[in-house]
Amino acid sequence: MFVLGVDPGLTRTGYAVLSDHGHKPSLRSVGVIRTTRQDTLSERLAELYRDLSAVVSDHEPEVLALESVFVNQNLQTAMSVARASGVIILVAAERGIPMFEYTPSAVKSAVCGYGSATKEQVQHMIMRRLDLAAAPQPADAADAVAVALCHLQSARLRVAQ
């Protein structure tokens, strides 16, 4: 299975492609799509669309796993993440890629066994589970790896049922 994990954001969207063929998952690609704050909202969303579409074309994932919008104190941040998530969902829908959403606490629980794990704990577990010398940088990329790992674990549980 090839899964594309995505940590949405308007300024930075992390992505990670993991493969899993019944044994230990491996990291195939990881990165961040960046948009420029000086551009208009529509230009930034169009850039995210183009760049994520290129990632999908390059790697042909079988499934897309997306971290769901976390509503916090900052409504403006939540709105920009929601807009970016809409573009990501559109990319998956246009290509017929099944999409799954996971809350931040579900991702942390799947990766670390604890839904309130710190970013450092999540990064440490990513390194251990994928035999990496260092956590992917920036944090948005590492978060996308965690989302992909969460989906792989959840998919295994669904198959086992």
Q: What is the pLDDT of residues 38-85, one digit of tens each?
A: 999 999 999 999 999 999 999 999 999 999 977 666 788 889 999 999
Q: Exposure string (b/e) for 127-154, b if CB count within 10 Å is 16 or more? A: bebbeeeebbeebbbbbbbbbbbbbbbb
Q: Which of 20, 60, 101, 140 is catalytic?
A: 140
Residues of the chain with pLDDT under 70: 71-73, 156-161
State which fold the 2-160 domain adopts: Nucleotidyltransferase; domain 5 (3.30.420)
Annotated active-site residue 62? The verdict is no
Q: Which of 20, 51, 67, 143 is catalytic?
A: 67
Annotated active-site residue 67? The verdict is yes
Q: Exposure string (b/e) for 49-82, b if CB count within 10 Å is 16 or more? A: bebbeebbeebebebbbbbbbeeeeeeebeebbe
Annotated active-site residue 7? The verdict is yes
